[in-house]
Amino acid sequence: MPYDTEVSTTATVFDTEDDNGIWTFADLTGDGSLDLARTANTPTAFDAVDEHPAASGHTFLLRDWTGDGRADLILVKTRDTPGGKVELHVAAADADYQAYALQTETVFDCEDGGAWTMTYPRGDHLVYLKTRDCGSGMVEVHTAGRGGGGPSDRGEPTAFEAEENGTWCLAPRGVDDGEGGGGLADLYYVKTRETDSGVVEVHAATAESGWQDRPLGIVSSFAPGEDGHWVLADLNGGDVPDLVYVKVRDTDSGKVEIHTNEV
């Protein structure tokens, strides 16, 4: 059964007190492998956008927007924008994140009722996973074109009832959308609270079914914990992403640790 065995625990170079940012995996060097990255409030081009972006509630993503193989740093600005629209600001990796590759207003009104993300590995489509105040009562997937251009869709209700007891995200690998964008991706829910099993659960709905078919609803070997961050990452090249717990507090090694369950 997927995720029923923890296959590796790795101590990193990061001290546990470094937990002052967002942890994720991305190809930072362009070598095709995923690196562990922490986005913290350090000097970048975003100083001109927001004095304290890491504390503002906006979303930071690492995606290869420019297409050079390296992950660019993307700020999805969801509050207090001049036009009342969500904005995209892309700091280019080839400029050491000191220059913009894109600054644009999107078709989305500013809203903070879910999770903002983009398709992998390139940010071809801006996606809003709406998890509360949904008119349908179900989690909804709202998408826009490359750069957040429109028109946006009306929002596709999924097979999931709206709730927020874990992490909602897209699969690290998209499904071909027929237009070369890889704009579709399966929807995953890593449920870490109020689970029937008492352990972390992973649920998924497929993009090909319009997020109606739920082929995955399984328990993991992880007990619910509040000492880190849950991430789905394609670390081993399988059809189903690996479940990773980036533990940042109370680790045996005294370092930030990566705990991985794979299929």
- For residue 30 the two structure tokens come to 């362009």
In a domain, 64, yes or no: yes
Give 62-96 pLDDT, tens digit per residue: 999 999 999 999 999 998 899 999 999 999 999 99
**Is 246 among the domain residues?**
no
Which value, to the nearest 10 degrees, does the dihedral of the CA atoms of residues 69, 186, 112, 202 take? -110
Q: What is the CA radius of gyration of the chain?
A: 18
In a domain, residue 11? The reply is: no
Give the chain's domain count.
1
Phi, psi of 86 (to 5 degrees): -60, 140
- DSSP string of 26-47, one letter each residue: E-SSSSSS-EEEEE-S-SSGGG
Instruction: Give the residue numbers spanning the domain of 72.
Output: 20-227
Helix, strand, coil percent content, the chain, rounded in steps of 5: 5, 40, 50
CA distance 121 to 196: 33
- Give the three-state DSSP class for 76: strand
Q: Is residue 195 part of a domain?
A: yes
* Residue 94 forms part of a structural domain: yes
The answer as to whether 111 is a domain residue is yes
In a domain, 1, yes or no: no
Mind listing the pLDDT tens digit for each residue in 109-164? 998 899 999 876 566 688 999 999 998 999 999 988 777 776 566 688 999 999 99
Tell whether 183 is covered by a domain: yes
State which amino acid sits at residue 120: Y
